[in-house]
Amino acid sequence: MLTRLQVDGFKTFEQLDVEFQPFTVVLGSNAAGKSNLFDALQLLSNLADRDVNEALRHLRGEPSELFRTTADGPASRISLAAEVLVDPIVVDSYGSRVALKHTRIRYEVVLERREIRPNVPRIYVVEERVSPIAASKDTWANALGQSKKAWSPYLRYSGRKTAYLSTKQGDAGPEFSIGQDGKQGRVRPASAAEATVLYSVTNSAEFPHLFALRAELASWRLLQLDPALLRSSSPATASDELEPDGSNLAATLAAIKAESVTELHPEGALGDIALQLGGMIGGISGVDADLDESRREYRVELQMRDGITFSSRVISDGTLRILALLALLHDPRRRGLIFFEEPENGIHPARVRKLVEILREMVTDVFPGRVDDESPDGLQPLGQLLLNSHSPVVLAALVNDDLEAVRGSILFADMVSVMDREKGHTRRKSRFRPVRMIREDERQQDVFADPTAEPTFVSDIEVAAMLDTVGQEA
């Protein structure tokens, strides 16, 4: 679970520092940096699962375009840092279960662009660090207040002070030093690394905390659901875990049904999915995904209350998007961070509030006494959802009458100008501020104490102003 992200030198980000909750929504106009935030998260995830060139190739834009450009020219480095809460139990590729001593971990990585030939750049990993977050310095956990007790089964602190992975200057140049984590550590050269050390760590028994961190980052998924692919059939050999584009929706639904069917519930979890889908889209009474034996393909079908059945080929885009999200919600294997752009697309505004309620159910919701009967440890797998939107209708579904965020965090994204007085020019950067209630004395201090300082939060006045634009939605 991602709790904090720091980014510098990437696209529109300069000294970005933002915290996240299990359910977080980013709101802002077009070109405010919302998609760039997702790109930064995707880059971190890619770096844990492939080499640098492959990691960059799967992002929007050429690798050189990912480095922040200002009037001073392009940056030469991208710095990324993520603070995460990892699952207390990790399972490696061989099925071995390892209990972690420490679950609050900070990961830092620096990429550098070098010209190996004129106008031919190559990107290298020049710094990498993995360190435990001490209990006394865990600002995210300490800000949980009364709910911190509910999170205690997940929050483990070993008292360790040394890094699991660091970058040091050795006799032959910079080196990546893998600290002892149950066994002897290792040293690797860092002068021209084209992959992160984290990517090369594959044995949880040898370096369990690095393995757990890699598994967490690699599990992050950007959903970019394509209606054309959602309505297509899935080969019988397709993956049964929903692909980011939704191309195997039928196979995913079939797998959920097979794993959840009982004598009392012959439709399994598909019955629950149909109930929720029917609550948002009137007339739907059933969902099925059967295998066409002749074609060896799974096909999605919706049953209507009047007895008529429709295949996915004629289902609307909005209905398919909701169906895919419900499939994720009911998939027992779902875990990690999912980030999803503009969930309101194709959804009638009157149904957005219900959709938000469903999405909230996709995240880890802990409270004293909550256990997962299907987990050997009695703990839910950590699940997190990050959405972005430009719609005030979505905002209206996220706040109460006092304009406070309900069961989650709201961030406002915008672009601001930064004046560099020494160089005599301005530069633009993305800003992300949390919505929170403030006291009148805080408001006055923020406005009058330093008129040139950036507000660090979004006041109820700004929230109300955005809500007032609901009637202006196209």
Supply the CATH number for residue 454's domain: 3.40.50
Q: What is the mean pLDDT of residues 283-307?
A: 91
Q: Are residues 407 and 295 in the same domain?
A: no
Q: Is the dihedral of CA 464, 466, 467, 471 positive or negative?
A: positive
Which residues are paired to 169 by β-bridges? Answer: 174
pLDDT band at 369 (very low <50, low <70, confident <90, very high): very low
Gap between the Cα atoms of 180 and 194, Å rounded: 23
Chain-centre distance of CA 235, in angstroms? Answer: 28
Q: What is the chain's mean pLDDT, rounded?
A: 86
Q: Are residues 290 and 174 in the same domain?
A: no
Among 306, 334, 362, give the residue marking a domain's end.
334
Q: Are residues 330 and 401 in the same domain?
A: no
What's the pLDDT at 184?
60
- Residue 34 scores a pLDDT above 90: yes
Non-local (6+) Cβ contacts of 175 within 8 A are 167, 168, 169, 187, 188, 189, 190
Q: Are residues 85 and 169 in the same domain?
A: yes
Residues of the chain with pLDDT > 70: what percent? 90
DSSP-based three-state secondary structure for 141: helix
Q: Are residues 141 and 287 in the same domain?
A: no
Among 300, 317, 334, give the residue marking a domain's end.
334
Strands (E) located in 312-463: 336-341, 383-389, 409-420, 425-434
Q: Are residues 39 and 142 in the same domain?
A: yes
Lowest mean pLDDT among 176-185, 262-271, 313-322, 354-363: 176-185
Q: Are residues 150 and 285 in the same domain?
A: no
Non-local (6+) Cβ contacts of 130 within 8 A are 105, 106, 107, 108, 163, 164, 165, 166, 198, 209, 210, 213
Q: For 12-48, b where at least 16 C-beta lie within 10 A, e where not — what string?
A: bbbebebbbbbbbbbbbeeebbbbbbbbbbbbbbbbb
- Residue 450 scores a pLDDT above 60: no
Among 334, 353, 379, give the residue marking a domain's end.
334
H/E element, 240: none
Q: Is the dihedral of CA 277, 400, 407, 16 positive or negative?
A: positive
Q: Are residues 196 and 296 in the same domain?
A: no
pLDDT band at 471 (very low <50, low <70, confident <90, very high): low
pLDDT band at 445 (very low <50, low <70, confident <90, very high): low
